[in-house]
Structure 1
Amino acid sequence: MDLFNIKSLLSERLGDDAVIPMADMSEYCSFKCGGKADLLVIAEGMDELRYALYVIAGADEMFPSCGSCSGDKCSICESSEACSGCGREGKKPIPYMVIGNGSNILVRDGGYEGILIKLGEGFSEVEIDGTEVRAGASALLSKVAKDAAKEGLTGFEFASGIPGSTGGGLFMNAGAYGGEMKDVVKYVKAISRDGMREYMLDVSELDLSYRHSIFGETGDIITEVVYGLEKGNIEEINEKMKELAGKRTSKQPLQYPSCGSFFKRPEGFFAGALIEGAGLKGLMVGGAQVSQLHAGFLINKDNATATDVINLMKLIQNTVYDKYGVKLTPEVRIIGRE
């Protein structure tokens, strides 16, 4: 498996600016820290995404044996041994995944071994037809909320301050202030990991639950989400969004890089309350800190590394478990080399 060959094919079709080797993921993640991805691919539209997935997933077939070996020792065969003819390593599929707005992901300092795909501007359109809102997977949830409000559509106010994309929000069934994606989604368009199949799923098929959707299991990629909202009063909708914005400003450390609420809510508890009760509010590890404003937020206070954040996370988990017997699970997806 040859990353260089994959890069060459993708650059030829997508352009060099869309295929970035050793991409610094701190520039693409809201925590503003983390390592580099071996390759970052920006897919500006469906054609580009389809092609990128096809190339990456089908690399085994596209790069056959070098011809100077018997084949049974080549990286393209089923053997895990090295090829004596071309010197390639044994067959090892290149990991790849699609990221959204980077607001709920942390790349370890060792970087991501493989390919990260980010959806570009072609996936950011928002269209409204009656009470139906159609949004591309890279459209920001805040934009969807604002566009819906302009048309007097209610039901999406809760998402107006969630700093994620439409696709990312659906992937984790994001929610806030009593609302969540499963309350407003009608259906979703997606593409299979190999780029060969595009399909639609009704909300009843998405297996939406607390911070979970079916896409966590399938690995397929969300390309578009369609929401079903209701007609409302524009002034009341804007007032509700203003009220929620005020709550966020007063209770969340928005001036620092973070991924929002770091931990999932344990059943019967609030993560922030447990962390504060354990005396951890304001605690720092390196440049990472438990916010003094809201203990459920871990922030990049002073040039934190991803390792700082992870070590702070582990310290919190151990302390809270020792005190309360409750296991805290990160809501943030942590990826990359250990």
Structure 2
Amino acid sequence: MEKLANRLRELQVGKVLQNERLSNHTTMKIGGPADIFVEPDSIKGLEKTMEVIRDAGVKWRAIGRGSNLLVSDEGIDGVVIKMGDGLDSLEIDGTIIKVGGGYPIVKLATILSRKGLSGLEFAAGIPGSIGGAVYMNAGAHRSDMSEIVKEAYVLFEDGSTEWLSKDQLHFSYRTSILQKERPGICVEAILQLKEGSPEEIKAALQKNKDYRRNTQPWNFPCAGSIFRNPLPNYAGQLIEEAGLKGHQIGGAQVSEMHANFIVNKGHATAKDVHSLIAHIQEQIKHKYNIDLHTEVEIVGRK
């Protein structure tokens, strides 16, 4: 890995670190080290990074701002690529937005609201990046990324790149083609918004921000919603009705504010969170014969 890290440094792809703890890069503040951690400073830096990774035949994965992610205490093998400041371009042309995968989605929603562009109000309070939002088809308030994405520029594992249309991205509830069918990194996205009243859009954005602030426990480190909603039921409601609000294992606790959140009450480990997830799933299956599936992505060494 030393040789690989040095090669990346020689190519000046951006920031290159070894054994960087991923707890520094996740909203849950949990996660062991990555063998190599790269934060590319440009699309060219990202492409060079992927070329080196491919030639070395090592494992890799991309992360954004670290939300919706639970990283093992043992860390992640291979290379972790962070889509950060070097991949946060923004071009606004009327109602068409071209934005880098590393751009913070909340920041974008705020900027667009001031310009009277509607469609991203649902993203208020979502602590992720555009690339991750496309990858997960992030959503809230009865809307999601599939409503506004026209195309995404994707870098695939073999080094190839392609603009995928909305239909080609195979969006469905909290998923896209980039997760399993064709693993890849959303480098840029083109969004189609609508013109509207800046005052009305800003008011809707603020309403959604206030709702999140009042109903979700962002005062503690957390990853976002832990479980997908088993529609027509809602995971949080089932967990609350099962009497599991406040249940704690180690430093991980079912939030007392919203039962579909697990919060880090201080020095929680991934093992604590895994154990709590398993306990919740077991109880919900026993009480309601409903299988809860995780929305949070669980990654890393076993």
1:157 aligned to 2:155? Answer: no
1:187 aligns with 2:151: yes
Equivalent residue, structure 1, for 2:86: 122
The counterpart of 1:253, out of the listed 211, 217, 228, is 217
TM-score by structure 1 length? 0.87
Counterpart amino acid of residue 199 in structure 1? E
Q: Shift in Å at residue 141 of structure 1?
A: 0.7
1:336 pairs with 2:300? yes
Distance 2:174 2:209 in 1: 22
1:208 paired to 2:206: no
Distance of 2:84 and 2:42 partners within structure 1: 7
In 1, Cα distance between the equivalents of 2:175 and 2:125? 20
Query: Hey, what does 1:30 align to over in structure 2?
Result: 27
1:134 is aligned, of 98, 110, 120, to: 98
Answer yes or no: is 1:239 the counterpart of 2:235: no
Cα distance in 2 between the residues matched to 1:94 and 1:40: 13
Question: Which residue pairs with 1:230 in the alignment?
Answer: 194
Deviation of 1:302 after TM superposition, in Å, equals 2.0
1:86 aligns to what?
none
Superposed displacement of residue 194, structure 1: 2.8
Which structure's CA Rg is the greater one? 1
Q: Is residue 39 from structure 1 mapped to residue 15 from structure 2 by the alignment?
A: no
How far, CA to CA, are the matches of 1:150 and 1:279 in structure 2? 43
Which residue in the other structure is 2:3 paired with?
Answer: 5
8 Å Cα contact 2:64-2:84 kept in structure 1: no
Note the residue ranges of structure 1 that are not aligned, 5 or more in a row: 60-92
Residue in 2 that maps onto 1:111: 75
Name the Cα RMSD after superposition: 1.2
Q: Does 2:95 match 1:95?
A: no
Which runs of no fewer than 5 residues in structure 2 stay unpaired? none
3-state SS in 2 of match to 1:170: helix
What amino acid is aligned across from residue 164 of structure 2 in structure 1? L
Distance in 1 (alpha carbons) for counterparts of 2:111 and 2:89: 11
Q: 2 CA distance for matches of 1:22 and 1:137?
A: 24
Helix, strand or coil: the match of 1:139?
coil
Q: Which residue of 2 aligns with 1:279?
A: 243
Within 5 A, what are the aligned runs for 1:306-325? Answer: 306-325=270-289
The question of whether the paired residues in 2 share the 8 Å contact of 1:285 and 1:308 is answered with yes
Shift of 1:267: 2.6
AA in 2 matched with 1:42:
E
Question: In structure 1, the residue corresponding to 2:29 is in which secondary structure?
Answer: coil
Q: Does 114-123 or 25-34 show the bigger shift?
A: 114-123
Between stretches 290-299 and 215-224, larger displacement belongs to 215-224
Secondary structure of the corresponding residue to residue 48 of structure 1: helix
Does 1:58 find its partner at 2:45? no
Number of residues of Structure 1 aligned to a counterpart in Structure 2 = 301
Return the offset for 1:30: 0.4
Q: Residue type of the partner of 1:114? A: G
Q: Supply the distance in 2 between the matched residues of 1:308 and 1:213 (Cα, whole angstroms).
A: 29
Query: What amino acid is the match of 1:118?
Result: K
Instruction: Give the C-alpha shift of residue 198 in structure 1.
Output: 1.9
Residue type of the alignment partner of 1:207: H
Letter in 2 for 1:48: G
Q: Deviation per CA, 1:286-332, whole angstroms, max 9, x where unpaired?
A: 01000001001110012211111111111111111111111111111
Task: Name the structure 1 match of 2:258.
Answer: 294
Aligned-pair identity (%): 40
